[in-house]
Amino acid sequence: MSVEHIQTLCMNPHFYGLLIQGFLSGYSKPCETRLVFMALPILMYSESRKKLSNANNRSKMETLFNSTDKLENNTKISGKVKLSGYLNRYEELKSWSKKSIIILYTEKKILFHEKSIVLVEPIKHLEYEDTVREWIKAAYYLGVVFSKSDEDHLNYFLGVER
């Protein structure tokens, strides 16, 4: 199997589209397009996805990613470590995000309105099984968390400039 085939299996825009659909379901209102591009880099990092597995409807960026964590040897580390490498992942996943958004649009699951994406077909993670359910749950709660912040706050928190 070639590297290109392995990459296609690992980086599937249809699966990423499902994650974006889960994210938009949690966001539950028209979402600025730039914010959608910010979701996959967080979801594709296992450490941040683990944090999102404990999220609920009251969660915020600060409650999930600002609290300190303890390593096995009781060393305390910043919760923002769970977001490390965000900028690199953002750049790597930008084209995959575009492909996924195009797929969602062609499948009539989203619409574009001015600078926003409007979800037409929401999904629930409970409708899925096993690992896919956990991925979509993380995407959903990331959408919930993002919906409580504005883009400037998210940029500041993630350490990126507009």
What is the per-residue pLDDT for 48? 86
- Closest Cα partner for 139 from 106, 103, 100? 100
Judged against a pLDDT cut of 90, whether residue 27 lies above it is answered with yes
Q: What integer is the mean pLDDT of 24-46?
A: 93
Lowest mean per-residue pLDDT among 78-87, 114-123, 130-139? 78-87
Domain coordinates in residue numbering, the chain: 14-158
- Report pTM: 0.85
* β-pair partners for 17: none
DSSP notation for 122-158:
---GGGS-HHHHHHHHHHHHHHHHHHTS-HHHHHHHH
Q: Measuring CA to CA, which residue among 154, 115, 113, 142 is closest to residue 24?
A: 142
Digit-coded pLDDT (tens) for 63-112: 877 766 555 666 544 445 556 778 888 899 999 999 999 999 999 999 99
